[in-house]
């Protein structure tokens, strides 16, 4: 029910000395003014113009006119921020991956990513934040547009307009945030289908930073119950915070049997990463388990042929089991994965402004870095 409030400027004076006809006349005027005020109160507010919303909210009656049910639950809408041309273009974009470790973005890697869009439309997706990437990317390399879409619920992830914008992209970037939100909101939706379409069918460059990196592997750490530390994971490989998904979200052929991690050395994450690999071998029957860990302010850029370089100021780490899986990987017991001190072969490549080293994702070979072994004894990483 609409509530009508009369201002101090609207009032009625009734004189009890008037004749009945005068009273009836005043009553008619009252009804007329009241009807006008009620009509004004039902006008819909004008949407702000600071950004756009895409939704499925327009309802059309059988007569072809808008049929708005005031009692109905509002249809979901996703907030978008557009910089550049709204018209979709198609360009000769090329494929690749950008795996960025979080914190300050690596400008050289972002430029590499944008150049692969070949002047097309770049889409950024996230579940929080706003348009922080738009002007930064638009000013760096000549592209038709940069559009950020906030997808912060499963309902919004199921909007056809959201999925179509992703499918139309010549490059897609997944911002940092909370990877569990990405898994929870996007997995098994048409948004997931659209991302996989870019990865496997359209084959354009897709990448992410921090949480956006964490979900790109065939296996992924979901952080569903919270972020696990290396000490917790090594001390109990089945700690409640060790939540791993396998083969049920995003799929890129270069990241088969691979799980990624970010903020690597800065947050001491190699121990938990090794634990993730142990769990993949123990629980999922992997004979080969691989991991890519990326430091902050560092990015691994992999081209369409699977050849990667490391950009930035810190390191990237590429890990693979050397032979058999862990000797001890059970709930409540510290991890042991020794294999005579050669459990995992790690290759570390330092980043540079122009891209350093070489990584072949198709056969897991390297150059320009340092190779060494890691192993775990009774919860201690060596």
The domains of the chain are located at 80-381
pTM value is: 0.82
CA-wise closest residue to 379 among 229, 221, 227, 233: 233
Could you tell me the two tokens for 382? 């060596």
pLDDT in tens, 20-66: 344 444 434 343 334 333 333 333 333 332 367 777 643 333 233 33
- Is the separation of the CB atoms in 358 and 333 below 8 Å? no
- pLDDT one digit per residue (tens) for the chain, 382 residues: 332 222 333 233 333 333 334 444 443 434 333 433 333 333 333 333 236 777 764 333 323 333 444 456 677 899 999 999 999 999 999 999 999 999 999 999 999 999 999 999 999 999 999 999 999 999 999 999 999 999 999 999 999 999 999 999 999 999 999 999 999 999 999 999 999 999 999 999 999 999 999 999 999 999 999 999 999 999 999 999 999 999 999 999 999 999 999 999 999 999 999 999 999 999 999 999 999 999 999 999 999 999 999 999 999 999 999 999 999 999 999 999 999 999 999 999 999 999 999 999 999 999 999 999 999 999 999 9
Per-residue model confidence (pLDDT) at position 43: 33
d(CA 143, CA 348): 33
326-329 LR contacts (CB < 8 Å, sep 24+):
326/237, 326/278, 326/281, 326/282, 326/376, 329/237, 329/278, 329/279, 329/281, 329/282
Q: How many CA atoms lie within 13 A of 223 on its CB side?
A: 20
Question: 3-state DSSP call for residue 326?
Answer: coil
Question: 3-state DSSP call for residue 82?
Answer: strand
CA torsion sign, 229 to 235 to 240 to 244? Answer: positive
* Antiparallel, parallel or unpaired: β 315-321 and 290-294: antiparallel
In angstroms, the Cα distances linking 137 to 5, 141, 299, 363 are 49, 7, 16, 32
Could you tell me the two tokens for 102? 């979080």
- Neighbour tally for 278: CB within 10 Å: 27
Terminal-to-terminal C-alpha distance of the chain: 70
CATH code for residues 80-381: 3.40.50.880
Per-residue model confidence (pLDDT) at position 57: 44
CA-based angle 241:273:221, to the nearest 5?
A: 50
Which ranges constitute the DSSP H helices of 292-335?
none
Strand extents, DSSP E, the chain: 52-55, 77-84, 96-100, 121-126, 145-150, 171-174, 205-209, 219-221, 244-246, 258-261, 290-294, 298-303, 307-312, 315-321, 344-350, 356-360, 365-367, 370-374, 376-377, 380-381
Question: 3-state DSSP call for residue 308?
Answer: strand
- In which region does residue 35 sit, left (phi positive, over 0), alpha (psi from -120 to 50) or beta (all else)? alpha
Secondary structure in 3-state letters for 233-244:
HHHCCCCCCCCE
pLDDT in tens, 140-196: 999 999 999 999 999 999 999 999 999 999 999 999 999 999 999 999 999 999 999
Phi then psi for residue 52, to 5 deg, are -110, 165
d(CA 101, CA 220): 15
- Neighbour tally for 247: CB within 10 Å: 12
- Is the separation of the CB atoms in 146 and 175 below 8 Å? no
CA-based angle 234:178:356, to the nearest 5?
A: 75
């Amino acid at each position: 029910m609409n509530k009508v409030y009369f201002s101090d400027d609207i009032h009625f004076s009734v004189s009890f000395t008037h004749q009945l006809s005068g009273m009836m006349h005043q009553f008619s005027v009252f009804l007329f003014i009241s009807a006008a005020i009620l009509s004004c109160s039902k006008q819909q507010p004008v949407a702000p113009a600071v950004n756009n919303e895409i939704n499925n909210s327009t309802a059309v009656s059988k007569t072809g006119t808008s049929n708005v049910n005031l009692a109905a639950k509002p249809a979901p809408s996703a907030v978008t921020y557009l910089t550049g041309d709204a018209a979709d273009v198609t360009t000769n974009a090329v494929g690749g991956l950008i795996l960025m470790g979080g914190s300050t973005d690596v400008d050289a890697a972002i430029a590499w990513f944008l150049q692969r869009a070949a002047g097309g439309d770049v889409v950024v997706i996230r579940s929080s934040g706003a348009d922080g990437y738009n002007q930064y990317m638009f000013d760096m390399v000549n592209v038709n547009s940069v559009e950020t879409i906030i997808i912060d619920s499963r309902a919004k992830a199921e909007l056809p307009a959201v999925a179509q914008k992703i499918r139309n992209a010549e490059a897609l970037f997944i911002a940092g945030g909370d990877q569990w939100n990405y898994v929870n909101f996007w997995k098994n939706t048409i948004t997931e289908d659209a991302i996989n379409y870019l990865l496997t069918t359209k084959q354009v460059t897709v990448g992410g930073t921090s949480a956006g990196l964490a979900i790109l592997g065939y296996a992924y750490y979901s952080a569903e119950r919270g972020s696990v530390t290396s000490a917790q994971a090594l001390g109990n490989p089945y700690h409640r915070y060790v939540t791993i998904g396998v083969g049920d979200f995003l799929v890129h052929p270069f990241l088969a049997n691979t799980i990624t991690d970010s903020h690597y050395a800065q947050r001491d994450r190699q121990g938990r990463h090794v634990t993730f690999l142990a769990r993949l071998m123990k629980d999922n029957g992997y004979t080969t388990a691989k991991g890519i860990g990326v430091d902050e302010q560092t990015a691994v850029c992999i081209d369409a042929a699977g050849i990667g370089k490391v950009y930035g100021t810190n390191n990237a780490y590429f890990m693979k089991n050397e032979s058999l899986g862990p000797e001890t990987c059970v709930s409540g017991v510290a991890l042991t994965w020794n294999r005579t001190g050669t459990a995992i072969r790690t290759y570390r490549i330092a980043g540079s402004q122009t891209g350093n080293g070489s990584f072949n994702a198709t056969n897991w070979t390297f150059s320009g870095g340092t190779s060494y072994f890691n192993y775990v004894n009774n919860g201690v990483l060596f």
